């Protein structure tokens, strides 16, 4: 039991600084995730402060695409714990690794990520570690953005101690320090994390959407450091160049390529703008002419069977039907002559 109200059931994940357990809020009979820092981390103020920031970010953002936090505290051994919404899902990383996603599915997922970021940024928070590993997909591709451990949080949301440290300039990151996953880090981070704002999260979303559609990273690189170096010096290649024959529509490619611009000024300014662009791309796709369905041959007389004019013409022009065609014409002529004689004699 933790804090006399959380029962720990099983370990579901573990890292160098902490572990995550599936648990239960016993009074509410509600399943939760419990994240616990290792006892050794209590002597690392930066790790504890990041843990607090994750708790604060999760507590202040109520959105269907963001994992929420409900409690934060210390154990008897002074280790910190964080209680989070329990989510069963598949990391987007595993989905991308299997095969490129159809454009409609990729845009559906990207729109939810953008919606989550819209809510995050509205609170003055920058996630700073948006990547496929931190995006869970539940039933019907329901997105959950997780792990705010590296987030830049609005100072006014911090505890008194953290707020005073931030105001004295003792932030979690030095001016020239780079944090995050290099494969999804925006180029401006090379100037330090102070240069990273909400548009860096949108850049990471662009890289993720690029990978969902093409099944590949924009740059071929052996590791994250090489990839980051290339992104500092080169523009991302056109999406259709990395995924030839994929049939990606121009408006979808334009959306992705604007997100991954090296210069943050050239990107969409806000997540709200990204949502509008995604909606526009989806609308353009829905309005595009659909490919004709393959012709299905049905037996005459079967339900739904229709005989076209072309099939009738080809049937009457076949050699087997020619004598019947000639006989029909002769009978029609004789009937016409008989009708004319009858009219004249009347």
Task: Tell me if 111 is assigned to some domain.
Answer: yes
Could you tell me if 103 and 182 lie in one domain? yes
% residues pLDDT > 90 (the chain): 51
Whether the Cβ atoms of residue 6 and residue 83 lie closer than 8 Å to each other: yes
pLDDT, mean of residues 98-114? 96
Task: Quickly state the pLDDT bin for 219 (edges 50, 70, 90).
Answer: confident
- Phi/psi region, residue 247 (left: phi>0; alpha: psi -120 to 50; beta: rest), is left
CATH number at residue 60: 3.30.200.20
Catalytic residue list: 129
Q: What is the pLDDT of residue 173?
A: 47
Could you tell me if 69 and 211 lie in one domain? no
Task: Quickly state the pLDDT bin for 83 (edges 50, 70, 90).
Answer: very high
Could you tell me if 127 and 217 lie in one domain? yes
Task: Quickly state the pLDDT bin for 327 (edges 50, 70, 90).
Answer: low
Of the candidates 286, 309, 335, which is a domain's last residue? 286
Q: Which residues are annotated as a binding site for ATP?
A: 35
Q: Which of 216, 147, 217, 220 is nearest to 184 (CA)?
A: 217
* Strands 143-145 vs 6-14: parallel, antiparallel or unpaired: unpaired
pLDDT of 310 > 50? The answer is: no
- Structural domain including 259 reads 88-158+176-286
Task: Tell me if 71 is assigned to some domain.
Answer: yes
pLDDT of 59 > 80? The answer is: yes
Long-range contacts of 232-235 (CB under 8 A, 24+ apart): 232/187, 232/190, 232/262, 235/261, 235/262
pLDDT of 9 > 90? The answer is: yes
Of the candidates 243, 260, 286, which is a domain's last residue? 286
The string of pLDDT tens digits covering residues 124-136 is 999 999 999 999 9
Task: Tell me if 46 is assigned to some domain.
Answer: yes
More confident residue, 310 or 88: 88
Q: Which residues are annotated as a binding site?
A: 35
Could you tell me if 61 and 135 lie in one domain? no
Of the candidates 86, 109, 135, which is a domain's last residue? 86
Task: Tell me if 294 is assigned to some domain.
Answer: no
Average pLDDT score over the chain: 81
Task: Quickly state the pLDDT bin for 14 (edges 50, 70, 90).
Answer: confident
pLDDT, mean of residues 283-308? 50
Task: Tell me if 302 is assigned to some domain.
Answer: no
pLDDT of 186 > 90? The answer is: yes
Pull the structure tokens for residue 177. Answer: 């320090």
Could you tell me if 104 and 214 lie in one domain? yes
Bridge partners of 36? 19, 81
Among 53-62, 238-247, 316-325, the range scoring the smallest mean pLDDT is 316-325
Q: What is the pLDDT of residue 192?
A: 80
Could you tell me if 200 and 126 lie in one domain? yes
pLDDT of 108 > 90? The answer is: yes
pLDDT of 298 > 60? The answer is: no
Could you tell me if 255 and 153 lie in one domain? yes
Whether the Cβ atoms of residue 81 and residue 73 lie closer than 8 Å to each other: yes
> How many domains does the chain divide into?
2
Task: Tell me if 189 is assigned to some domain.
Answer: yes
Whether the Cβ atoms of residue 83 and residue 34 lie closer than 8 Å to each other: yes
Task: Tell me if 230 is assigned to some domain.
Answer: yes
More confident residue, 274 or 287: 274
Could you tell me if 119 and 264 lie in one domain? yes
Whole-prediction pTM value? Answer: 0.77
pLDDT of 260 > 70? The answer is: yes
Could you tell me if 201 and 64 lie in one domain? no
Q: What is the pLDDT of residue 197?
A: 94
Q: What is the pLDDT of residue 157?
A: 65
Task: Tell me if 298 is assigned to some domain.
Answer: no
- Number of residues written out for the chain: 346
CA–CA separation, 339 and 270 (whole Å): 82
Could you tell me if 100 and 212 lie in one domain? yes
% residues pLDDT > 70 (the chain): 75
More confident residue, 81 or 295: 81
More confident residue, 207 or 193: 207
CATH number at residue 276: 1.10.510.10
CA–CA separation, 106 and 284 (whole Å): 15
Could you tell me if 143 and 282 lie in one domain? yes
Could you tell me if 126 and 82 lie in one domain? no
Q: What is the pLDDT of residue 35?
A: 94
């Amino acid at each position: 039991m933790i804090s006399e109200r959380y029962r720990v059931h099983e370990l579901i994940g573990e890292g160098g600084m902490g572990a995550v357990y599936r648990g239960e809020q016993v009074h509410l009979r509600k399943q939760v995730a419990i994240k616990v820092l290792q006892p050794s981390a209590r002597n690392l103020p930066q790790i504890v402060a990041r843990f607090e920031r994750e708790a604060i970010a999760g507590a202040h953002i109520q959105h269907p695409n963001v994992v929420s936090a409900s409690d934060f505290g210390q154990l008897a051994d002074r280790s910190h714990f964080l209680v989070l919404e329990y989510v069963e899902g598949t990391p987007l990383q595993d989905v991308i690794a299997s095969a490129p996603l159809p454009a409609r599915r990729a845009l559906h997922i990207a729109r939810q990520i953008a919606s989550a970021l819209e809510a995050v940024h509205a609170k003055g928070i920058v996630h700073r570690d948006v990547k496929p590993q931190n995006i869970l997909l539940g039933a019907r591709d329901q997105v959950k953005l997780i792990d705010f451990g590296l987030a830049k949080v609005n100072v006014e949301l911090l505890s008194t101690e953290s707020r005073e440290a931030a105001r004295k300039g003792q932030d979690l990151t030095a001016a020239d320090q780079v944090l995050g996953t290099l494969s999804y880090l925006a180029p401006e981070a090379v100037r330090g994390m102070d240069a990273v704002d909400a548009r860096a999260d949108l850049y990471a979303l662009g890289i993720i959407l690029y990978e969902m559609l093409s099944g590949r990273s924009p740059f071929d690189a052996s590791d994250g450091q090489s990839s980051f170096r290339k992104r500092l010096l080169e523009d991302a290649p056109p999406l259709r160049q990395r995924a030839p024959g994929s049939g990606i529509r121009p408006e979808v490619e334009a959306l992705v390529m604007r997100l991954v611009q090296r210069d943050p000024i050239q990107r969409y300014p806000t997540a709200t703008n990204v949502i509008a662009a995604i909606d526009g791309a989806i609308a353009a796709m829905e309005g595009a002419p659909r490919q004709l369905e393959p012709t299905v041959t049905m037996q005459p007389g079967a339900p739904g069977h229709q005989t076209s004019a072309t099939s009738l013409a080809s049937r009457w022009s076949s050699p087997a039907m020619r004598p019947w065609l000639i006989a029909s014409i002769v009978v029609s002529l004789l009937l016409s002559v008989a009708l004319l004689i009858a009219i004249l004699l009347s």
